[in-house]
Amino acid sequence: QWNKFLLRLKSAKWIENISPTQQKTLNGYLTGTIDLIISIEQKFYILDYKTNKIGKNNDFYSKISIDKKMQELLYPVQAAIYGVALHKWLKSKLKNYSPELHLGSVCFWFCRGINSDTKGLWVKSLDSDLIIDLENILANNKQNTFLL
């Protein structure tokens, strides 16, 4: 099922090519929790703090450098799983839940880049079609290797 999940993320331009070595590391990959969920005007946003040091100074926190680090550490996969978790949680908590109305975006914040031009931010919209597709992929997992 990881292949379907990764292909869907790739089609949404969240990830690039993942090496076989990286793909092996996905089993048992996520054991963390969402750092913060923010609600603003009926939209919900995920914020995850990263304390990784990308480089020596603010020049290392450019969009390109952050994108490269995100890909290297497979954080877009983590972000997508968090998006599905938020979606499932909102479905269970909000009476009139609508993914199109309530899903905002996911933001990974490399805190050490706060003074850079990017402020250390990587942000992706939680597109309802993508999140629902990923939820279905996870739900159809017969090997029970996903725990959402």
CA 38 to CA 102: how far, in whole Å? 11
Instruction: Spot the catalytic one: 48, 67, 129, 133.
Output: 48
Q: For residue 81, give both structure tokens.
A: 């799983």
Strand partners, 39: 44
- What count of other Cβ atoms lies within 10 Å of the Cβ of residue 38? 11
Is 48 catalytic? The answer is: yes
The CA-atom distances, in angstroms, between 64 and each of 12, 15, 69, 117 are: 18, 13, 9, 12
CA 40 to CA 132: how far, in whole Å? 22
Q: For residue 37, give both structure tokens.
A: 């969920």
- Strands 43-50 and 36-40, sheet pairing: antiparallel
Active-site amino acid positions: 48
